[in-house]
Amino acid sequence: MLLASLGSAGAVQASPNRGIEARTLAQSVVDGQQYVTRELTIAPGGSTGWHWHEVQVFGLVRAGTLTHDKADCSSDGVYPAGAPITEGSGPGEVHIGRNLGPDPVVLWVLYIGPADAPLATDAPNPGCPFE
């Protein structure tokens, strides 16, 4: 859900995140594995932008309602406050989280993976009519 820019020359333009704030709550590395907990806030009308994760991702919606879509443009869930969410890992798991509601979406997200792995990697819009 948090994005890391690729920035390679000639790459397809990644979709930017909009209206998102991220705050690290806790971070540690144990035996080469990173554990990062972040609070993400997505403003009404905002999104994470299209991205994928190399690491494992586990989240909890603390406030608002998160709409989560896959690269085939289908929704794989609408998550209200109190709902858990997990996301698949790897470049075949491109997705976007959007706030279609009137209130901010607040998420607590735990990322677990190799210490040198980015938490997320930007991806271009796969052709969906929304961003």
pLDDT tens across 43-96, in order?
Answer: 999 999 999 999 999 999 999 999 999 999 999 999 999 999 999 999 999 999
Classify 23 as helix, strand or coil.
strand
Which are the contacts of 40, defined by CB distance < 8 A and separation ≥ 6? 1, 2, 20, 21, 22, 48, 105, 106, 107, 109
**How large a percentage of the chain has pLDDT more than 70?**
90
pLDDT confidence bin for 6, thresholds 50/70/90: very low
Q: Are 104 and 43 in contact (CB under 8 A)?
A: yes
pLDDT tens across 14-37, in order?
Answer: 788 999 999 999 999 999 999 999
pLDDT tens across 119-128, in order?
Answer: 999 999 999 9
- Global confidence as pTM: 0.88
State yes or no: pLDDT of 11 exceeds 70.
no
Q: Are 118 and 52 in contact (CB under 8 A)?
A: no
Which are the contacts of 91, defined by CB distance < 8 A and separation ≥ 6? 52, 121, 123
The predicted structure's pLDDT at residue 19: 96
The predicted model gives 105-124 an average pLDDT of 97
Q: Identify the sign of the CA torsion 75, 19, 107, 80.
A: negative
Classify 36 as helix, strand or coil.
strand
Q: Are 86 and 77 in contact (CB under 8 A)?
A: no
pLDDT confidence bin for 13, thresholds 50/70/90: low
State yes or no: pLDDT of 130 exceeds 90.
no
Q: What is 18-122's CATH topology? A: Jelly Rolls (2.60.120)
Classify 47 as helix, strand or coil.
strand
**CA-wise closest residue to 105 among 96, 118, 94:** 96
